């Protein structure tokens, strides 16, 4: 069902400060900031040899990241994204096995311009999982 890890997402209260910290301490290549109103976030990607780290900052108080930061004011790991060969088949298998897709069952377009779904954390050992069409 799952392929390689696409990215690990970290919620941050201040994306520019987080970008500066990552740049200064690691020298990593960092993308420009993207705004994704349909997901309620600003995002950047930090390139690693075998994947990416995604930094997420809420656009406003209605963002799902806002609630996460209320519980974790310094930020922290938010989710792991896996590429899948067939997102619809993966979704259907998940649902058939009793899993839940957050935000409805229809995929939305993610930060990479590809369809994505999110699996409820309680359905996979307490971790929010994003599946992205490879």
Q: Which of 29, 49, 54, 130 is catalytic?
A: 130
Cα–Cα dist 3/89, whole Å:
13
Q: List all residues 6 or more positions away from 11 whose beta carbon is below 8 Å from its beta carbon.
A: 56, 57, 65, 68, 69, 72, 75, 76, 77, 78
From residue 87, give the alpha-carbon distance in Å to each of 11, 22, 54, 90, 116: 24, 32, 21, 5, 8
Task: Say whether 130 is catalytic.
Answer: yes
- Interior angle at CA 11, CA 100 and CA 106, nearest 5: 30
Which sequence positions are flagged as catalytic? Answer: 130
């Amino acid at each position: 069902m799952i392929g390689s890890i696409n990215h690990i997402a970290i919620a941050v209260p201040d994306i520019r400060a987080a970008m500066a910290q990552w740049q200064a301490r690691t020298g990593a290549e960092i993308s420009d900031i993207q705004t994704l109103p349909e997901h309620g976030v600003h995002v950047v990607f930090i390139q690693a040899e075998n994947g990416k780290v995604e930094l997420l900052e809420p656009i406003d108080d209605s963002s799902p990241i806002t609630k996460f930061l209320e519980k974790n004011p310094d930020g922290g790991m938010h989710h792991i994204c896996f590429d899948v060969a067939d997102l619809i088949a993966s979704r259907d298998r998940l649902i058939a096995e009793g899993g839940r897709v957050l935000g409805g069952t229809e995929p939305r377009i993610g930060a990479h311009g590809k369809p994505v779904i999110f699996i409820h954390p309680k359905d996979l050992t307490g971790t929010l999982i994003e599946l992205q069409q490879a």
